[in-house]
Amino acid sequence: MRLKHTLLPLLFLLLAPTRVVGDATCPANPRDCNGPAPYTTVNATTESPTVYKSTGVSDSLVDAVHAGHTLVVNFMGGVSGCNAYVFQPNGDDSSYEAMRSTMCAQQKPHCSFEKDRAQAQTGGGQFYRGAGGTTCQCGQVVTTSHALFYLPSSTDSDADVSERAVHEMVHAVQGKSGDATPKWLMEGGAVQAECLLASLLSVNPSTYSVCFLTKGGRGGVIPNFLSYYASSYGKTNGLRKAEDRCCGDFCGTGDSDAVLQAEGTAAGHLYYDVGAVAIAWAINKSGKTSAQFWQSATLGVGFWNAVVPYGGYDYSDAATGSASTTPDGRGWRAAFANFTGHGSVGAFYTEFDAWAASATETSVLAILESNADVATQIATPIDVTRDDFLKTGVSVDECSPSSGAASSATAHASWLAVVLAMTVSVV
C-alpha cells in the first residue's frame, strides 16, 4: 500500500498536460543543399503571399503571380509568412535594391539577394521556392516562413509566370507539412496540382487529362512517363531512385543527371512526370480523391497534412540525412503507406513499377480522375478551419532527434506504461 500511495501523485503529474521543450541547438554540419528541414511552425491561412518586385516589373506580371498563388490557396490553403520576390531580367543594380532589406530580414543570416540579382541580370529564367526563415530546435532545422523566387526571362509571358506561380506556391504548401519529403512527391506533387488547377487558368486553360497529355512543363506528363519506363535506367530502377536528387556533391541514393542521360532518360522525366503519374495512380489505387490527398489531415485519408515529421535525420551523413533514410512507419513513409493502403512504401513501389512497365497512354488516362470529378473538387475554396484540415504547423515542442514529433498524449502514455511496469527507476 505504501508503494501505491507513493506512485499516485506521480501518476497525476505524468497525466497532466505538460510541454516537453526540446533544445534549440542547430544541427551538426548542416547542409545548405537539399538538407532536411523536418520541422515547421508555418500555419495554414487563406491569405496569398506578399509580393515584392524590382522597379521594372509590370503590374500585369504581379497580377499574374497573384493569380497563380490564389488558385493554390483556394484549393489547399496558403501558408503564413510567405513572401514572393519578382526580379526583372537584365536590370541595373538600383532596380532591385528595394527588395534587399525585406529578403535579408526574412532569410537572415544567409541572404540570397546577391545571387538572385546576378541571375536576373544575366537573363533570368529561374523559378523556385528558396530559403525562407528558419530556426533550430531538437538538433533539427525548423522552417518559420517560405520564400518564392520568380526570375522570368525576357521571353516569359505573364501566362507562363502564372503557371509557374501555381507550381512554386504548391511547394510552399508542401513545406508546411515538414519532414524530408522525396523529390518525386515534391516535384510530382506540384505537377499533379498544376494539372488539377489547369482549367482555372485565365490564359491557355486545359482539363486535367489534357494537361497530363500535353503540359506539365516538359511537353506532356504522360509521354515523358512512358519514355522513362522505356529507358534502360527506368526499367532497372523504377521510381524508388527518385526519393533523393543530387544537389552539388550530395546525392543520397539518387544518381546524377549525367547517369540518367547515359541510360536514356532525363532527370526531369523521373522527378516531375513519373512522380505526377505515381501520385495519380496512388489516388486511384486508394479509392480516394485528389482533394483528400492534398487537404485532409486524417491519417489514412490524406497525405500531405497527415505527415508527422521524423526527427532522426543526420545532416552530415548521406546514410541518415535524406528522404530515402526515413524509416518505415515514420514521417512521410507512414503517411503515404497509410494513404495508399500498402504495408510499406517499398510495396507501393513494387506494384506501381510493375504496372508502369507495361503502361500505355490509354492505361494512364484510365487511372486519372475524370475531368468532371476534378472540376467539382476544385470548385469550392477550402475552409482551413474545418476539423480534418491541418490548421497550424506541426508542433516541435515535444520533438527529439530519435523519435520525431511525438504528441504530448503519446509521450505521457509511454511514461505511464513505464511506471506501471516498474521496469526503470523514476528520478
pLDDT tens column, 141-192? 889 999 999 999 999 999 999 999 999 999 999 999 889 999 999 999 999 9
pLDDT at 28: 67
Residue 105: pLDDT band by 50, 70, 90 thresholds? very high
3-state helix, strand, coil in the chain (%, to 5): 50, 10, 40
**Mean pLDDT, the chain, integer:** 85
| Cell numbers at 296, concatenated | 485532409
* Cell 526515413 belongs to residue: 326
Torsion 85-89-90-95 (CA) sign: negative
Of the candidate ranges 166-170, 323-327, 341-345, the one whose mean pLDDT is the lowest: 323-327
Cα–Cα distance for residue pair 291/192, rounded to 1 Å:
12
Residue 50: pLDDT band by 50, 70, 90 thresholds? very high
Query: What is the pTM (predicted TM-score) of this model?
Result: 0.87
Specify the pairing of strand 39-40 against strand 140-143. Answer: parallel
What's the rounded mean pLDDT across residues 85-108?
96
Cα–Cα distance for residue pair 388/370, rounded to 1 Å:
24
- Is the Cβ–Cβ distance between 179 and 141 less than 8 Å? no
- Is the Cβ–Cβ distance between 88 and 118 less than 8 Å? no
What's the rounded mean pLDDT across residues 269-287?
98
pLDDT at 387: 81
Torsion 254-256-257-262 (CA) sign: negative
DSSP-derived 3-state class of residue 53: strand
Give the neighbor-by-neighbor strand order of the sheet with 83-86: 50-53, 83-86, 147-151, 126-130
pLDDT at 274: 98
- Is the Cβ–Cβ distance between 342 and 348 less than 8 Å? yes
Residue 211: pLDDT band by 50, 70, 90 thresholds? very high
What's the rounded mean pLDDT across residues 407-424?
28
The rounded percent of the chain whose pLDDT value lies above 70 is 84
Whether the per-residue pLDDT at 329 is higher than 70: the answer is yes
Specify the pairing of strand 140-143 against strand 134-137. Answer: antiparallel
pLDDT at 29: 66
Between residues 318 and 90, the one the model is more confident about: 90
Count how many Cα atoms sit within 13 Å of the Cα of residue 84 in the half-sphere of its side chain.
34
Q: Where are the domains of the chain?
A: 39-177, 181-393
The rounded percent of the chain whose pLDDT value lies above 90 is 69
Total Cβ atoms within 10 A of residue 287: 8
Count how many Cα atoms sit within 13 Å of the Cα of residue 154 in the half-sphere of its side chain.
6
Cα–Cα distance for residue pair 410/101, rounded to 1 Å:
43
What's the rounded mean pLDDT across residues 375-395?
83
Residue 399: pLDDT band by 50, 70, 90 thresholds? low
What's the rounded mean pLDDT across residues 242-267?
92
Strand stretches in 74-125, DSSP E:
78-79, 83-86
